[in-house]
Amino acid sequence: MSGIHVSTTINGDPVEFVCQPGETLLDVLRDRLRLTGSKDGCGTGDCGACSVTVDGRLVCSCLVLGAEAEGREVTTIEGLADGENLHPLQSKFIEHAALQCGICTPGFLVAAKALLDRNSNPTEEEIRFALAGNLCRCTGYDKIVRAVSAAATEVRKQEGRKQRRSF
């Protein structure tokens, strides 16, 4: 049993760890790095609770090996807020009561962020299909869809402000 040495970037910080060949990225994040915001709901890529981005691409971290993080940039729920400023998705989730138990919330937020990064003006249908890989058992998705839609509006406003400032 010999470990693999991995150098990677997680939420902007350089991170090094040693993991076994069979360990998933989720195992590493949770058990080695104690970044427990990513949740293990199924271990088979069906629930989306472990969603993270690797080099900007949305993945289930339970389906990625820890060793595959070598040289990549990993972003987890812990990296979504900018310091003490919540991302609009986070504040809209709270404002719209889009979480009940909250176990699926990190995965939804990471997946919704990936959606807004490529489409900041999604329709209801686009939101529903973009989030279809994330299971929620509490909310019936109603308030989640509304929160994502409201966050998209907020993100567009912020982008507008940034653009105006750069002129």
Partner 1 sequence: MAHDTSFTNQEFKVIGTRPPRPDGVDKVTGRAAYGADTFAPGQLVGLILRSPHAHAQIRKIDTSRAEKLKGVKAVITSDDLPDLTNGDRAMLDILENCMARGRALYDGHAVAAVAAIDAETARKALKLIKVDYKRLPHVTDVDEAVKPDAPIVQPYVRTAGVQPPPTKASNISQISEFGHGDVEAGFAQADFIVEESYKTEQTHQGYIEPHACLASVGPDGQGELWVTTQGHFTFRNQCAALLGMDVAKLKVTASEIGGGFGGKTHVWMEPVALALSRKANRPVKVVMSRDEVFRATGPTSSTSVDVKIGAKKNGRITAATATLRYQTGAFPGIWGMLGAMTAYACYDLKNVKTVGYNVLVNRPKVAAYRAPSAPMAAFAVESTIDLLAAKVGMEPVDFRIKNAAKKGTKASYGPTYGPIGIGPTLEAVKNHPHMRARLGKNQGRGMACGFWFNFGGQTCTDLNIGVDGTVNLTVGTVDVGGSRASLSLIAAEELGIPYERIKCNVADTSSLGHNDTTEGSRGTFSSGMATIFAARDAIEVLRERAAQTWEIDVKDVKWEGGRAVPKGVRHSNLGTLTLEELAAASPNTGGPIAGHNEVVADGAGVSFASHICDVEVDPETGATKVLRYTVVQDAGKAIHPDYVEGQLQGGAAQGIGWALNEEYIYGKDGRLQNPGFLDYRIPVCSDLPFIDTEILEIPNPNHPYGVRGVGETSIVPPLAAVGNAVSNAANVRLTHVPMSPPRILKAIKNRRSNATTG
Residues near partner 1 (CB under 8 A) are 1, 20, 22, 27, 30, 34-44, 46-47, 49, 76-78, 80-81, 86, 89-91, 93-97, 99-106, 109, 125, 127-129, 131-146
Tell me what percent of the chain is helix, strand and coil, each rounded to the nearest 5: 45, 15, 40
Q: What single letter denotes the amino acid at residue 104?
A: C
Which residue, 54 or 135, is less far from partner 1 as judged by CB? 135
Minimum Å gap between C-beta 88 and partner 1 is 11
> Could you tell me the smallest distance in angstroms from the CB atom of residue 112 to partner 1?
11
Identify which of residues 22 and 167 has a Cβ nearer to partner 1 in the complex: 22
Name, in order, each residue with C-beta under 8 angstroms of 5's C-beta and a sequence gap of 6 or more.
Answer: 16, 17, 18
Residue type, 55: D
What is the C-alpha to C-alpha distance for residues 167 and 163, in angstroms, rounded to an integer? Answer: 7
Rounded-to-integer distance, Cα 10 and Cα 160, Å: 29
CA-to-CA dists, residue 67 to 7, 18, 60, 123, 138, angstroms: 9, 9, 15, 37, 34
Give whichever of 59 and 99 is closer to partner 1, judged by the CB atom. 99
On whether the CB atoms of residues 139 and 100 are closer than 8 A, the answer is yes
CB of 165 to partner 1, least distance (A): 27
Q: Which is nearer to partner 1, 119 or 160 (CB)?
A: 119
- Least Å distance, CB 51 to partner 1, is 11
- Residue 116 or residue 163: which is nearer to partner 1 going by CB? 116
Q: How far is the CB of 103 from partner 1 (least distance, A)?
A: 3
Backbone angles phi, psi at 111, to 5 degrees: -70, -40
